[in-house]
Amino acid sequence: MREVLPLMVLLSCDPVVEPDGGADTSAEPWRPTVVCPGDEGCDSADGPLEVGAAAVVITPTCYERFYDCGEDGVCPDDEGWVEADSGEGDAEWDKQTEAFEDCGCDRLCEGDEGYPGPDEGEANGEFDAIWIAGFQTGRPVNTVHDDLWARTIALQQGTTTVAIVSLDVFGYFFDDVQEVRAMVDEAGIPVDHVIISSTHNHEGPDTLGQYGLQIGKRGVNDPWMAEVKQHIVTSVAEAVAALQPAEMFAVEVDISKAVPEKGTRNFINDKRDPRIVDEMMGVAWFRAAGGGDTIATLVSFGNHPEALAHINNAITSDFAHYLRETMEQGVDWESGPVEGLGGMSMYLQASVGGMMTPLGVEVTNIDGDVYSAATFEKAEAIGQSLGTLALRELSAASPVDDPNLRLLAAEMYLPIDNHSFQAMFLMGVFEREAYNYDKTANLTDQNVPELLTEMDLLDIGPVRMLSVPGELLPELAIGGYDGSHTNIGEYTDPIVDLEKEYPADLSLAPEGPYLKDQMARPFNWIIGLGNDELGYIIPEYNFVISERVPFIEEAGGDHYEETNSLGPRTAPLVQEWAEKLIGYAAESQ
């Protein structure tokens, strides 16, 4: 077993990537990396909007299971079991005491019904696990509750074609996005730009690296990741092949009004002060021109897909599964059925940072049933209720007149100030390139590696989408420091608990206009984890790190998110680049 070196030693190791030596273009007028219409190959966006959609399963099939039996290794069905002991049922594999089925890829051993013979990994003495991302390390997949998907909507107008992919994963690095784009080009799929957003699912495989068996051990299953890339390409190809003239509907729903006495707290627990929640859920519906069948529905909403909490070993897309199922198939509520719209439904993560979570909330569904435990029933209640609210609002919507399609994309560099993240890059836990630093010198405050990432601004009729490469705290999008976006009904929690250590000083909070106001369209969506996952994006005024062990040890109060962020410079840079894109869009109309 490889021993993990102390962090400070790792920080003095030589990085492996050459500095980026780009030409100085500071005197040139700024232009986004991609402008469609405008660039070669996407010079126009004339004519009717065409839309296609596809969904491809990305659920892993090759993994081995374990027995979550605790310190004594005895499970409830075993002879001699009396009661659960320490570690039993905690969803984590203790390699010292807990056994695993060494049955290989198909999880069938000799003597099992349907055993086809030994397969990959069988009887090799190694636990060939798929590790689940989110919460803690060492959480292996044991079963599949519902499939994970690569869901794609393709949009075309004139010679401009854009594909948006929603992945049921924890996050997806920009390097992987670039590889997928290259694969799309190599396959000859006629698309100008691919946007990939992760749902930030906490109940699926590790796609970044930090959720393996233990801290410092990479948790990504590379063969499965290669399969995912191919599945994404297939999803894009099928969506583009299905393009057809379409009509568009767009609405938004204030989810705080579903159960007024609870407000947003019926779905979201904001676990970090100041308590600010974006209560608006964006919804778009595309159907074949002339009132034909549904092609796709899109729902944009900011909440962590983690209703099952940390004690779960079943693959699921969490509440997103039930939300999409409701949009497609409807729900037969006791209070009356709600019809679905068919087609392919897509969930797009929004401003999910700091900390938008269903954990700790008591959900009341449309029938008035209440769910508080971390169960599939709670995930179902959230998804079905949100889907019902969206369908009801769409039922009164009118088609959009002549929706236009426009895309701007800008590449940018963000510094890795987080010492823990620096270490994970050097240890190989994170596998992506870093730029713009001296590999021959130790990492210091003056020699900080940077990551190449991207932000996109996409207009589809009245809907403007701004992709953000991580988990944006909602206040950066909507403000709300005056309490206008607290909306927790009859709950009496203050916007800031001044009794906590290092409370947020709202007198230092940034003034507006905030991102959604600047976007200046009827419907403004933040596409969270868009083309990257760089952690939490936290307002600079409320960024607090431990003085003793910065970034690794949490500061007191509500400052967990800092330990999973690039650093305090991220939010101002994201704001700057977002404003560049928005400004360019306004000037070039």
> Where are the chain's structural domains?
34-60+147-406+451-587
Q: Give pLDDT, residue 10.
A: 40
If DSSP states are collapsed to H, E and C, what string results for 243-303?
Answer: CEEEEEEEEEEEHHHCCCCCHHHHCCEECCCCCCCCCEEEEEEEEECCCCCEEEEEEEECC
Q: Give pLDDT, residue 7.
A: 41
Q: How many CB atoms are closer than 10 A to CB 128?
A: 18
- SS3 state at 11: coil
Q: What is the pLDDT along the chain (589 residues), one digit of tens a residue?
A: 222 333 433 443 343 444 444 445 556 889 999 999 999 999 999 999 999 999 999 999 999 999 999 999 999 989 889 899 999 999 999 999 999 999 999 999 999 999 999 999 999 999 999 999 999 999 999 999 999 999 999 999 999 999 999 999 999 999 999 999 999 999 999 999 999 999 999 999 999 999 999 999 999 999 999 999 999 999 999 999 999 999 999 999 999 999 999 999 999 999 999 999 999 999 999 999 999 999 999 999 999 999 999 999 999 999 999 999 999 999 999 999 999 999 999 999 999 999 999 999 999 999 999 999 999 999 999 999 999 999 999 999 999 999 999 999 999 999 999 999 999 998 999 999 999 999 899 999 999 999 999 999 999 999 999 999 999 999 999 999 999 999 999 999 999 999 999 999 999 999 999 999 999 999 999 999 999 999 999 999 999 999 999 999 999 999 999 999 999 999 999 999 999 999 999 998 7
- SS3 state at 419: helix
> Which runs of E-coded beta strand occur in 132-219?
143-144, 149-157, 160-167, 193-198
Task: For residue 22, give every residue at least 6 positions away whose Cβ sits within 8 Å of its Cβ, in sequence order, or none.
Answer: none
Q: Give pLDDT, residue 17.
A: 42
- SS3 state at 238: helix
- What gap in Å lies between CA 22 and CA 409, rounded to an integer? 19
- What gap in Å lies between CA 478 and CA 485, rounded to an integer? 8
Q: ∠ CA 380-381-387 to the nearest 5 degrees?
A: 85
Cβ-contact 161, 198 below 8 angstroms: no
Q: pTM to 2 decimals?
A: 0.94
Q: Which residues sit opposite 194 in a β-bridge?
A: 163
Q: Which residues sit opposite 152 in a β-bridge?
A: 54, 165
Q: Give pLDDT, residue 26.
A: 55
Local structure of residue 564 (DSSP, 8 states): G
Q: Give pLDDT, residue 224.
A: 98
- SS3 state at 164: strand
Handedness of CA 577, 580, 586, 588 (dihedral sign): negative
> Which runs of E-coded beta strand occur in 449-512?
450-460, 463-467, 471-472
